[in-house]
Amino acid sequence: MTDNNAAIQARLQQLDSSIDSLASKGDFEALGALLADDFRYNHSTGLSQNKREWLDGLKPLVGRRQRIPSSIQVEVHGDVAVAMADLDIVWTDGRHNYDRYVRIYRSVGGNWLAISQRTLPAHDRAPAAT
């Protein structure tokens, strides 16, 4: 791995984490700027949304849950990058969802923009039922 590639990976790990932080806080202007116009969000339920639909769907959830990514790994392939991570959705009412995602980025004019996300349930991460 080159120093430049390591720097890009570190930058993308920070960017990747910020997407979930901004979604949790409700900073949709900043979040929208990190998403490509053709961004697609594919939920663990199978629902697929474009950028506007996903942002609009997040608005009523602000203050009701936190999106907490962990174990973020990034692969860089030229002007495309793949981020993979665990994602905990922690609800204020006590619920806790355990997911994983793959998020794809494209470099556009030197800026990395998310173009797609696929989230899946991570049943192996959930505590055993008692």
Output the pLDDT for position 112. Answer: 98
Reported as type and span, the H/E element at residue 11 is helix 3-25
Task: Locate 95 and state its tokens.
Answer: 């619920």
Q: What is the pTM of this model?
A: 0.91
Q: Are strands 96-108 and 80-91 parallel, antiparallel or unpaired?
A: antiparallel
Output the pLDDT for position 5. Answer: 85
Q: Which CATH number fits domain 3-125: 3.20.20.220, 3.10.450.50, 3.40.50.10490, 1.10.10.60?
A: 3.10.450.50
Output the pLDDT for position 103. Answer: 98
Per-residue confidence of the chain (130 residues) as pLDDT tens digits? 567 889 999 999 999 999 999 999 999 999 999 999 999 999 988 999 999 999 999 999 999 999 999 999 999 999 999 999 999 999 999 999 999 999 999 999 989 999 999 999 999 998 876 6
Q: Are 83 and 52 in contact (CB under 8 A)?
A: no
Output the pLDDT for position 2. Answer: 66
Task: Name the β-bridge partners of 83.
Answer: 74, 103
Q: Are strands 35-42 and 111-121 parallel, antiparallel or unpaired?
A: parallel
List the domain boundaries for the chain.
Answer: 3-125
Task: Locate 79 and state its tokens.
Answer: 């002007």
Q: Are 103 and 18 in contact (CB under 8 A)?
A: no
